[in-house]
Amino acid sequence: MQRILADGPLPTLAQRRYPPYLQIAEPRQRRLAIVHLYFDGWNIKSIAGYLETTRPRVYETLRGTEHDRGARTALSLITKPSKL
């Protein structure tokens, strides 16, 4: 075990994909961060925790993208059953 630890480099922390929700300047980019994480398989609680926002905000954003024309097109290309 000590040999393995001594031979290999120490693991590095993964870089964040998105900054916290309130640090994202553009509202559209905020929504896209939530949608991307959701379609990458993240659940609502994990998205809220990672982006340091609330679960109701994540739910509201995902429901709101159903009415956004650009997001609707993107969502129609991805076939994932809705959990809302």
pLDDT digits (tens, 9 = 90+) for 51-76: 999 999 999 998 886 555 555 555 55
Look at residue 42 in the predicted model and tell me its pLDDT.
Answer: 95
Alpha-carbon span 78 to 25, nearest angstrom: 26
Least confident of 25-29, 35-39, 71-75: 71-75
Alpha-carbon span 61 to 8, nearest angstrom: 43
Question: Percent helix, strand, coil in the chain (nearest 5)?
Answer: 60, 0, 40
| pLDDT tier, 14 (very low <50, low <70, confident <90, very high otherwise) | confident
| Cα 56 → chain centroid | 15
- Is 82 a member of any domain? no
Domain range for residue 66? 2-77
Q: Is the pLDDT of residue 28 over 50?
A: yes
Please count the structural domains in the chain: 1
